[in-house]
Structures are given as C-alpha cells and as structure tokens.
C-alpha cells in the first residue's frame, strides 16, 4: 500500500526533456461521433496513446518530424506526417471500413495493444460488431454477449444476469452514460434494458479496473450510448418477433450539436392475447418499453456538453373477477456532462447524474387493497481529469459524491374503510464519496506499471432508527433514533489497483495484477434469479461493506502479425462480508430487513483461455474457463462451505462469423457450461397429513450440463438505395437441446387415498429450437 | 401478511407464457439419516396430543398400507407445564385398518397463558420443545355475502379487533357442516400490518391440500352451509413454523423460488409442538 503511494508521488519527478503536445479528438467521419479508445501511435516507435471516453487524445513528444497513425477497430486507419515543433491541435475523422471480401490489410502498429497495454481482463465490445451474432428471438443483447467471454458465467437460460469470476449479481458495476444501473433486466431477466440501437460500445473489466471505477467488487461494465450524427438526419430501426425499435439521430446545429432518440417496445401482450383468452392467464398482460435520448452541444473545441437520459418501464398486470394487480417497475437516469479542455494536456469531464429505480405492486382482492413499494434513488456528482505530461505518461484523477435514498420494501393496505400504514419501515439515507489518482509509467523498456489508488467513504445518515439485538435470541432490545443528517455509521478505506506488464518480446507479455474493491450497497436476494422486487440495501451498523481482493497473472501472445490474439489468465479472488438471507427466511412486510441477513465469505479461482481474431473475413473468439467458486457462512449449511449457485466447472464459448459475400454474412456460436449447483430435497415427512420437504445440502446437486448452438445469417440490402435494409435470420438452439431451466417434483397419486404415491422429479426446459427473423433498416 | 403471489407469478410465467417443455428426470440421492418428526399440539381445555414419525428419502415411494411403519411407537414423551409434568400414554388409533400410535397426556389440559415443555425420547434420540398457549383472540363477528355471479355460493366475512400490543399471531381452521376442521390455504396471520386496528376481511374456506376437490370454488362456502370457524391465538415460534411451511409449499414448481428451510421449534428433530387458544364462531348461511 505504502509503495503505491510512494510510486505515485515520485512519478512527476521523472519529467525532464522539453516536449510538445499533439492533441485533439478522434471522430467518425460520417456521423461525427466521438471515438473512444482509438489508438494514436507514432510509427516506428512504441510511443502511443488511446483516446479517452470522449474521443480526446493527447501525446507529448520531443520536438521532431513524426508519422502518426490513428486507428480504430472497424475503421480505416489514417496516417499523417507531422512536423511537431510546437503544440498542435489535430482533430481526426476516421472513415468506417467498407466491407470487402479480401482480408483487410493490417497497417497500424497498435493492433498489439492487448500485449503492450498495462491492462488485463478488459474487453471492448463495439455494438456494431456484435450485430451479426445469433440471439434468441433475434433481439440483440449486450449482456448476452458478455456471457460468452471467459470468466463470465451466464445465469439461468436466456437470462441477462452475469456473474464475473464467482462474484454475485450485485457485484457488477453497470454504467449507462456514467449513471449506475441498479437493475439491468426486463421481464425476469430475459432481456436487458440496453437497446442495441442506442448503444455505441461497452467495456468490461474483470480485474485491474481503473481507479476511476469503484463501488462494486467483481466487475465494471461501462456502456456508452451514441451521440447522434451531427452531419445529417438518419434513422434506424427494426421489426422483430417480440419487439420493434426506432432510432432517429441528426444535427441540431450542423457540426456543433446533435441528438439521438431511440425507443423500443415489446408486443408479446398483443400477440399472446388471443391465445390466453380462454386460459387461467386470461386477464394478464405484460410489456416493456424503453427510451434513450441524448443531445450534445459543442461550444468550442474546448467545451462540449452532453445531456442524456434513459427511461424504461416494465408493466405486468393481472385482472380477473377475484384478484387484480398491477406491477410497474423500471429505471430512469439522467446524465449531464461537461467536457472541458483546460489545456492541450489537461482534459476534464464533469458529470451530474440522477437516477431512480423503483418497483411497485398494487393490487386488489375484493375489498382488500394493498400496495408494496421499493426502490433506490441517487444523485451523483463527479469530476474526472486526464493529464498527459508526456507520451509515456497519463495521469487520471478525480472524485465523486453520491447521495443515496433507499426505499426498502414498504407496504400499505386497506380493507374497506380502514387503512393500514405501518410506520416501522423507514427510508435509508447515505452519502458515498471517493477520490482517486492513477497513472501508467514505463519503468524499463519492458516493464510498465499501471498504479491507481482510490479512497472511498460511505456514511449512513439519519433520519434512522437503529436497533440493537440480543446476542442469543435475536430479539430487539434497544433502539436509537438519529435525526436528519446525523451520522449513523461510517466506513472508509483505500482501494489500491496495481498492474505490471512485462514485455517478453514484441509478441508476448506477462502481466500481474492485484485489485482491491469495496462495495457499500448490496443486493440481497433469496431467489434463484434476480427479480425486480429484490432489494438494494446500504451498509449500516449491522451490514459491513463487501470487500473483494483479486490476484491474477496472465500470459498474452499475438500470432500471425497481430491478427490473432491469445491469452491465459489465472486468478484468485476472495470476497469478504458477503450477505445472504438466513435459513428459513421468507419475505414479510414491515420488517427490518437486516435482521434477516447472515454474513460470510466467498472465494473463486480458475484459469481462463482466450483466442480471438478481430479483423478480416473470418472473425470470432474461443474462450474456456475452468473455475471453482464457493461460499462459507457460519449460519448456512450448518457452517459447511457450499458451491456458489453459478459455480460452473467448465465453461466453453465458441463464437464465429464469416463474410460470405458483399451482402451475406453468417454467424454461429456454441456454448457448453457445467450445470449450476442446485438445492434439491433430501427427505420428506408428514404434518397434518401434508407432505413436507427437508433440504440437507445447500447447492448440493448439479443440474445436467448446459449446451447450445445458435446460427444466424444476415443479408444486407444494396448500398445505393435511400433506405438500406438488412434481414437477419437466426436459429436459436439448433439441435433443440432440452437444457434444464429448473426442476420440480410432482406427486403422482393422492396421499392417504391412493395405495401408492410416487415422487417424480421433472425438468422444465425453456426454449426449444426457435427460428427468428428481424428486419432492420436505416436511412 | 405474506407475499406468496410473487412466487405464484413465477410459476404462471414459466408454465404458461413460455410454452415450457417438461419431462421426467431421475435423481439418485445419497443416503441420509432419517429424522424424528413431532406433530404435537396442546389446546385450551384439551390434553396434549403427539404423533411421532420418521422422515423418509424424498424420492422413495409412499405405500398406503405401510403408513404405520412411518410412525414411531414406544417413545417416552413428557410434558411439563411449569408445575406438573405428565408422561404421555401411547394409544393405538385404528382408522380404516391403519394403526397409528398416538401419545396423549391423560390428566393434563392446556390453559391460557401457560408454557408447555415437551421432551421426547425415542430411538436413542432426545427431542425438546416449548410452546405457549396465549390468551384467545376472538373474532368480533361473522357474516356472509352472496356472490353476484353464482347464487349457490357465499363468501365468509369477519370483523376482528387486534389488541393494542404488537406480536399477536393467529391460525385458523374452518369447518363446513359436519366435515372436519381444515386449515386455511394460508392459515396463519400476524398483526404487524394491522396492529391495534379493527377491520373487516374475507376469510377463505379451509382446504385439504391432498384433495383437489377441496379447491373447487376456492375460498367460498355454499348457500345452506353451517360454517364453524376455529380462530386460534398461537405464539411466535408456532406461527413461524406454519408461515415457513406454507411459504415453502407455495413456491414449489417455481423457477424463481429458493427452497425454504422450515423453521421447526423442535430441538433435535423436525416438526412442531404448538399451543392453541381457540375461539369458535358459527354462522348459518341460508339457502
């Protein structure tokens, strides 16, 4: 820890020679969209940098003549001869690659970034590249693609839930234009809230996350939406089996300001209505919609402002003669950002975010009405700085502050004239703050260090009532009432992030990393999957922050002139202060939820193999993970450690696509996963003539292995037409594998009536072979 | 108040909307040690009554003619009420040719406000439990309402005044004419939401979960029925048992439901030792 601080402090002292700065923005030549993580390299040297999240780059070099190459995946590279004798501002527009049959010529030198960069476990997912991959119902989904990466486990069938290196679902930080997303799923997890038309790209970090990210202990998924074309008006859209999408984008003031609005709605409710009219499900309806919108205005080369928002709702309703209920839930986020260039070397992004996630059920059962609410609301302010003193160095520092309001499950009701408004359940309030500093530094030609330090702090404040419990009985023995704003409990701590890259040769590198993360808000669920009703709770007197330590070592090697990347990574992860519900917990209204928590630890370790080919006629990747994940809780499973639900021993993903002709493209993917750990009954007994189940071993049973093959084909329309359209045909689960979604047990016969009653376990499979067709258009 | 409908919703989604495909699967369980299961009760004015059985392998077949083999006879069972104790007498109950051992505490009856300690010694094991018979919490009144769509059915309504102090729990049973008392599908209530209030609510007819016919016209009575409601005050541990048990049953078959470990108040075994303070209420629904 002390070493890190020392290194950070000493780094500026190595600044010496006179330097000039080349800086500017990298953007898309057609739409004017800023390109994040575009490579900027001095040809013939190992000097280079990447544009930041806003397309800004800065490179300080000794004065001289240079050939500078700008490149970005999926775009034509550009190289320029520059006489750099004084500071220069250069905005570069890259043209998207025209699809062609022959192998693309790899020209630039930065294709070996995976070797040279001091980063591990980082995956860049440009949305455009994922469009041809097969998906269920033809609905593109970022979160389903993430599950195909090594070290990332998918949840149950077709679920968007993902689990990174043995971490829980709440341990993934998901940012949508810098706003934290608390529940990224629609419809019980089958679809994510990210509309593929609105998303520009996404970056996943499994380890070594830069210090500007924090608050979750397993991974970061940073999603950026498109800015909108600032040259001319365009539209894109699609009609699929279950949903339709429409996006409009264009300039507000040409070259200065643009907008994008993207909407999506499902129509399962409309399609199913005739089929369910005569069944028990008559009267039920479900749909979701979401809207993404973003505008930006460039005041000058130095100042740019973005305003973006997301609004999504799921609505599930049921109505028959006896009972009716209505369940809306969803997220709303608003992000206001200001990019400012203080100088060629200092870039700032200041952000204000408001976000709100809430869930509500209201219902009527004859004369009795009830309403249940839960949710979380954040206001967040943040400033991030990028400082580029010279080419080998990049400093980032900043800070953030968040005010959280948690609404735990609160219930009210009425029966006839009488209303019930229990007062026991209070909102929880908390401050969260962090400051960070990080840099990259070449220690020798071969050794590069990326070091970051984040200091985080969390404080629960009043109004609050805090209970003290009897050690033995668990009964409340005392309570303390805190006034508004009065501190209840504080936590703070350092979060060092260290990464060393050792270049063995130009083609291979060895990397080591250590990451410590602290997490102050927690999602505790007792369901098999995350449900909208799951609660987020803050750290408090009884709930301590989760802490994650991760150690990893990786070997990276590129082949065939950097056209093929490969890596092997070994990791060990320790999770502290993990939270689960106590045994026998059932949700109740009006309870102090923390009373039902038990605390323990978790660990995960494994090895991941990855090979990818990112450019050319054939592209794709293969990932294999061998991993072990368990949890240990003194109060669960009689104190014995037990496998984590998504402890999958083997996890294999093969993803490939091929450009067959100028208009046809085909894709396929295959996944094989060890079955999830499952709790099944061990014994049964009778009470009041009723058969009751006993469970012995938590997650002691394995479901059969999950495997599946999907294929897709895309036919692109002719380029010249004013409206271009694509047809995407897909087949999900080609060989109709009956993967187990869940198990249940059925009694065959009636107890105490029939001479024999047998118990039969049944497996339910969700999706058989499903063909799909989607029509996409753009103008 | 429970939230079983959320679990139910999961079942509906999985089963209905997604044309789920189901098939049999064979599961072989590792052998596990059978546990002793207590089904014991003590009611106001009634002697303690205990059935003692063994759990069996979950996937083992259940044969009606070997029911008696699940029950344990020859156990030494004692109940202590703080001043006196009684050793329960084992009787053989013969119902339709099935002989079941029943333990009865002759010479002791339940009293409101008293706690009862149970000790069971059988098959080399010792099980212990304690329960309390609280003060009875009678309903204020009962009445019925006709069903607009069907004039042969009736809905039972009640008025109840909850005592001002929190922590009251109830379990109820209903009886139609001369049928036996059956517990409600959700048979237990707590007063955390309604503490100290007076309110009206519909009360569902009790069901026999083993008999599908019992679920026809769910919750409703028939015109012409004589309804008897057995409305019993119970203690917290007793409530927890039925709450977790019924929650576990409601989630069976749902992909989203996690298994619920039923909270037994029996130390060293499974099951329930429960005290009841019943109040009885009767209503005749005219034809």
Question: Which pTM does this prediction carry?
Answer: 0.85
Which pLDDT value is given to residue B6?
42
Query: Smallest Cα–Cα separation from A766: which of A732, A716, A731, A725?
Result: A732
CA of A528 vs chain B CAs: smallest distance (Å): 5
Q: How many whole angstroms separate alpha carbon A558 and alpha carbon A560? A: 7
Which CATH architecture does the domain made up of A2-111 adopt?
Answer: Sandwich (2.60)
Q: How many whole angstroms separate alpha carbon B267 and alpha carbon B279? A: 29
CB contact under 8 Å between B210 and A752, yes or no, is yes
Q: How far is CA A254 from the centre of its chain?
A: 33
CB contact under 8 Å between A750 and B20, yes or no, is no
For A127-137, what is the mean pLDDT? 76
Whether residue B113 lies inside any domain: the answer is: yes
Q: Which residues contact A418 (CB under 8 A, 6 or more apart)?
A: B197, B198, B199, B200
Which pLDDT value is given to residue B20?
56
A340 membership: H or E segment, kind and range: strand A323-343
Mean pLDDT over each residue of chain A, to the nearest integer = 84
Residue ranges matching CATH 2.60.40.1120 in chain A: 2-111
Whether residue B104 lies inside any domain: the answer is: yes
Whether residue B42 lies inside any domain: the answer is: yes
Beta-bridged to residue A382, according to DSSP, are A351, A400
Question: Which of A76-80, A407-411, A579-583, B61-65 shows the lowest per-residue confidence on average (mean pLDDT)?
Answer: A407-411
Residue A189: C-alpha distances to residues A155, A549, A761 (Å):
9, 28, 25
Whether residue B102 lies inside any domain: the answer is: yes
Q: Is residue A449 scored above 80 in pLDDT? A: yes
Cβ burial of A574 (10 Å; 0-12, 13-18, 19+) is middle
**pLDDT tier at A273 (50, 70, 90 boundaries)?**
low
B222 and B163 co-located in one domain: yes
Query: Smallest Cα–Cα separation from A144: which of A710, A752, A600, A772?
Result: A710
Whether residue B211 lies inside any domain: the answer is: yes
What DSSP letter does each residue of A171-238 carry, written as one string? Answer: GEEEEETTEEPS--EEGGGTEES--TTTEEEEEEESSS--TT--S-SSEEEEEEE----SSS-EEEEE
Which pLDDT value is given to residue B131?
96
* Chain A interface test: which of B17, B140, B209 (most A C-beta within 10 Å): B17
For B115-119, what is the mean pLDDT? 96
Q: Is residue A761 scored above 60 in pLDDT? A: yes
Host domain of residue B87:
34-133
Query: Smallest Cα–Cα separation from A732: which of A140, A268, A266, A126?
Result: A140
Q: Tell me the two tokens of residue B253.
A: 């078959």
Q: Is residue A24 scored above 50 in pLDDT? A: yes
Residues in A closer than 8 angstroms to B270, CB to CB, are 685, 694
Residues in A closer than 8 angstroms to B14, CB to CB, are 741-742, 764, 766
Domain boundary among B105, B133, B161: B133
Cβ neighbours, 10 Å, residue A127: 21
Domain boundary among B90, B106, B133: B133
Question: Which residues 215-244 of B have a C-beta within 8 angstroms of A?
Answer: 240, 243-244
Question: Which of A255-269, A420-434, B106-120 shows the lowest per-residue confidence on average (mean pLDDT)?
Answer: A420-434
Q: Is residue A181 scored above 80 in pLDDT? A: yes
CA of B51 vs chain A CAs: smallest distance (Å): 9
Q: Does A474 touch chain B (CB under 8 A)?
A: no
**pLDDT tier at A526 (50, 70, 90 boundaries)?**
low
Which pLDDT value is given to residue A101?
38
Which pLDDT value is given to residue B195?
84
Which pLDDT value is given to residue A419?
67
Q: State ipTM.
A: 0.89
Question: Which of A366-380, A434-448, A639-653 shows the lowest per-residue confidence on average (mean pLDDT)?
Answer: A366-380
Q: Tell me the two tokens of residue B207.
A: 């069901």
Which pLDDT value is given to residue A11?
46
Q: Is residue B35 scored above 60 in pLDDT? A: yes
Whether residue B268 lies inside any domain: the answer is: no
Q: How many whole angstroms separate alpha carbon A349 and alpha carbon A36? A: 14
Which parts of A553-600 fold into alpha helices (H)? none
Q: Does B196 touch chain A (CB under 8 A)?
A: no
**pLDDT tier at A229 (50, 70, 90 boundaries)?**
confident
Question: Which of B25-29, B115-119, B270-274 shows the lowest per-residue confidence on average (mean pLDDT)?
Answer: B25-29
Whether residue B98 lies inside any domain: the answer is: yes
Whether residue B218 lies inside any domain: the answer is: yes
Which pLDDT value is given to residue A531?
56
Q: How far is CA A733 from the centre of its chain?
A: 25
Q: Is the peptide bond before A575 cis (omega within 30 degrees of 0)?
A: no
Q: Sign of the CA dihedral B245, B250, B253, B255?
A: negative
CATH code for position B150:
2.60.40
Residue A696: C-alpha distances to residues A642, A681, A690, A701, B29 (Å):
12, 7, 20, 11, 11
Q: Is residue B4 scored above 70 in pLDDT? A: no
Which pLDDT value is given to residue A511?
95
- Greatest mean pLDDT among A132-136, A152-156, A420-424: A152-156
CA of B79 vs chain A CAs: smallest distance (Å): 20
Q: Is residue B10 scored above 50 in pLDDT? A: no
Question: Which of A86-100, A262-276, A431-445, B257-271 shows the lowest per-residue confidence on average (mean pLDDT)?
Answer: A262-276
Q: What is the domain class of A122-778 according to CATH?
A: mainly beta
For A720-725, what is the mean pLDDT? 81
For A258-280, what is the mean pLDDT? 75
What is the percent of chain A with per-residue pLDDT over 90, rounded to a whole number?
36
Residues in B closer than 8 angstroms to A424, CB to CB, are 192
Q: Does A421 touch chain B (CB under 8 A)?
A: no
Q: Is residue A435 scored above 50 in pLDDT? A: yes
CB contact under 8 Å between A370 and B262, yes or no, is no
**pLDDT tier at B2 (50, 70, 90 boundaries)?**
very low
More confident: A255 or A142 = A142
Residue ranges matching CATH 2.40.170.20 in chain A: 122-778
Closest residue on chain A to B219 (Cα): A322
What DSSP letter does each residue of chain B carry, written as one string? Answer: -B-HHHHHHHHHIIIIIT--EEEEE---PPP----EEEEEEEEBTS--EEEEEE-EETTS-EEGGGGGGGB--S-EEEEE-SS-EEEPEEEEEEETTEEEEEEE-TT--B-TT-EEEEEEEETTEEEEEEEE-------SEEEEEEETTEEEEEEEEEEEE--SSS--EEEEEEEETTSPPEEEEEEEEE-TTTTT-EEEEEEPPP--TT-GGGGTTTT-EETTPEEEEEEEEE-HHHHHHHHHHHHHHHHTT-SSPPP-------BTSEEEEEEEEEEEEEEE---
Which pLDDT value is given to residue B257?
64
Q: How many whole angstroms separate alpha carbon A464 and alpha carbon A461? A: 7
Domain count, chain B: 2
Q: How many whole angstroms separate alpha carbon A416 and alpha carbon A458? A: 44
- Tens of pLDDT, residues A596-634: 889 999 999 999 999 998 878 898 999 999 999 999 999
Domain boundary among B79, B107, B133: B133
Question: Which residues 563-592 of A have a C-beta within 8 angstroms of B?
Answer: 583-591
Question: Which residues 99-138 of B have a C-beta within 8 angstroms of A?
Answer: none
Q: Is residue B120 scored above 90 in pLDDT? A: yes
Which pLDDT value is given to residue A453?
96
Residue A80: C-alpha distances to residues A35, A108, A113 (Å):
18, 12, 20
CB contact under 8 Å between A368 and B202, yes or no, is yes
């Amino acid at each position: 820890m002390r070493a890190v601080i020392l290194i950070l402090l000493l780094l500026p002292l190595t600044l010496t020679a006179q330097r000039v700065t080349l800086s500017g923005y990298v953007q898309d030549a057609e739409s004017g969209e800023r390109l994040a993580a575009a490579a900027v390299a001095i040809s013939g040297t190992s000097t280079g940098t990447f544009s930041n999240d806003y397309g800004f780059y800065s490179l300080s070099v000794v004065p001289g003549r240079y050939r500078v190459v700008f490149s970005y995946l999926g775009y034509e590279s550009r190289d320029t001869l520059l006489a750099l004798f004084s500071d220069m501002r250069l905005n570069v527009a890259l043209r998207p690659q025209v699809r062609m049959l022959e192998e693309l010529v790899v020209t630039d030198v930065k294709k070996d970034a995976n070797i040279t960069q001091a980063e591990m476990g980082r995956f860049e997912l440009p949305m455009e590249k994922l469009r041809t991959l097969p998906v269920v119902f033809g609905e593109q989904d970022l979160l389903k693609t993430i599950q195909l990466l090594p070290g990332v486990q998918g949840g149950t069938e077709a679920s968007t839930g993902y689990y990174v290196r043995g971490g829980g679902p709440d341990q993934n930080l998901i940012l949508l234009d810098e706003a934290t997303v608390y529940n990224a799923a629609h419809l019980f997890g089958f679809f994510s809230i990210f509309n593929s038309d609105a998303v520009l790209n996404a970056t996943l970090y499994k380890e070594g996350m830069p210090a500007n990210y924090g608050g979750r202990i397993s991974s970061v998924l940073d999603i950026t939406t498109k800015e909108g074309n600032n040259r001319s008006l365009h539209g894109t859209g699609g009609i699929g089996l279950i949903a339709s999408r429409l996006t409009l984008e264009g300039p507000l003031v040409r070259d200065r300001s643009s907008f994008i609005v993207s909407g999506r709605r499902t129509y399962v409710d409309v399609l199913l209505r005739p089929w369910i009219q005569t069944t028990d499900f008559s009267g039920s309806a479900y749909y979701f919609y979401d809207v993404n919108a973003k505008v930006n205005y460039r005041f000058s080369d130095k100042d740019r402002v973005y305003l973006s928002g997301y609004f999504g709702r799921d609505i599930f309703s049921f109505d028959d003669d006896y009972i009716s209920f209505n369940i809306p839930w969803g997220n709303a986020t608003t992000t206001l950002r200001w990019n400012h260039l203080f100088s060629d070397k200092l870039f700032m992004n200041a952000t204000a975010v408001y976000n709100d996630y809430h869930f509500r059920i209201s219902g009527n059962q004859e004369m009795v009405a009830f309403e249940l609410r839960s949710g979380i609301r954040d206001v967040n302010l943040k400033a991030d700085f990028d400082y580029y003193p010279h080419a080998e160095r990049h400093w980032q520092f900043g800070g953030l502050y968040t005010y959280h309001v948690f609404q735990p499950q609160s219930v009210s009701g009425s029966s006839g004239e009488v209303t019930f408004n229990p007062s026991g359940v209070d909102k929880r309030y908390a401050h969260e703050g962090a400051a960070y500093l990080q840099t990259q530094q070449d220690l020798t030609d071969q050794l590069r260090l990326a070091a970051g330090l984040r200091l985080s702090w969390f404080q629960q404040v009043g109004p609050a009532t805090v209970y003290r419990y009897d050690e033995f009985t668990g009964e409340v023995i005392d309570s303390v009432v805190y006034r508004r704003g009065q501190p209840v409990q504080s936590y703070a701590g350092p979060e060092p992030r260290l990464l060393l890259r050792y270049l063995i040769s130009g083609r291979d590198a060895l990397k080591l990393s250590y990451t410590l993360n602290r997490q102050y808000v927690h999602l505790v669920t007792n369901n098999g999957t995350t449900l909208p009703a799951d609660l987020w709770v803050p750290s408090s007197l009884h709930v301590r922050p989760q802490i994650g330590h991760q150690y990893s070592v990786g070997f990276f090697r590129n082949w065939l002139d950097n056209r093929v990347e490969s890596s092997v990574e070994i990791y060990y992860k320790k999770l502290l202060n993990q939270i689960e519900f106590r045994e026998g917990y059932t949700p109740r209204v009006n309870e102090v939820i923390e009373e039902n928590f038990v605390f323990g630890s978790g660990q995960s370790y494994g090895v991941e193999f990855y090979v990818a080919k990112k450019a050319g006629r054939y592209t794709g990747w293969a990932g294999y993970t061998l991993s072990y994940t368990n949890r240990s809780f003194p109060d669960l499973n009689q104190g014995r450690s037990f496998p984590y639900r998504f402890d999958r021993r083997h996890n294999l993903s093969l993803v490939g696509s091929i450009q067959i002709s100028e208009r046809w493209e085909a894709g396929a993917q295959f996944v094989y996963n060890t079955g999830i750990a499952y709790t099944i009954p061990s014994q049964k007994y009778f009470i009041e003539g009723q058969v009751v189940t006993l469970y012995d071993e938590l997650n002691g049973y394995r479901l059969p292995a999950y495997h599946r093959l999907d294929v897709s084909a895309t036919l692109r329309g002719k380029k010249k037409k004013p409206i271009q359209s694509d047809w995407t045909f897909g087949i999900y689960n080609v060989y109709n594998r009956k993967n187990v979604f869940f198990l249940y047990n059925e009694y065959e016969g009636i107890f105490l009536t029939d001479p024999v009653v047998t118990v039969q376990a049944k497996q339910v499979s969700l999706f058989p072979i499903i063909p799909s067709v989607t029509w996409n258009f753009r103008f | 108040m429970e939230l079983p409908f959320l679990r139910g919703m999961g079942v509906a989604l999985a089963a209905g909307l997604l044309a789920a495909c189901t098939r049999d699967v064979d599961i072989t369980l590792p052998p596990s040690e059978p546990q002793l299961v207590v089904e014991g009760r003590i009611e106001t004015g009634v002697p303690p009554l205990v059935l003692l059985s063994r759990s069996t392998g979950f996937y083992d077949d259940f044969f009606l003619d070997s029911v008696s083999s699940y029950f344990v006879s020859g156990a030494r069972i004692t109940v202590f009420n703080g001043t006196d104790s009684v050793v329960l007498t084992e009787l053989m109950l013969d119902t339709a040719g099935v002989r079941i051992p029943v333990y009865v505490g002759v010479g002791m009856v339940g009293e409101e406000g008293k706690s009862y300690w149970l000790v069971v010694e059988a098959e080399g094991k010792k099980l212990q439990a304690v329960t309390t018979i609280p003060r009875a919490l009678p309903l204020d009144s009962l009445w019925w309402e006709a069903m607009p769509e069907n004039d042969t059915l009736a809905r039972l309504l009640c008025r109840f005044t909850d005592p001002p102090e929190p922590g009251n729990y109830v379990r109820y049973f209903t009886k139609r004419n001369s049928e036996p008392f059956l517990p409600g599908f959700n048979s237990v209530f707590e007063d955390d939401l309604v503490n100290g209030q007076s309110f009206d609510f519909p009360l569902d007819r009790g069901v026999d979960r083993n008999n599908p016919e019992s679920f026809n016209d769910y919750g409703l009575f028939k015109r012409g029925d004589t309804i008897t409601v057995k409305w019993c005050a119970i203690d917290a541990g007793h409530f927890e048992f039925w709450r977790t048990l019924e929650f576990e049953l409601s989630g069976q078959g749902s992909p989203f439901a996690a298994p619920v470990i039923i909270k037994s108040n029996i130390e060293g075994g499974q099951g329930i030792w429960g005290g009841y303070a019943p109040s009885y209420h009767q209503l005749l629904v005219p034809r």
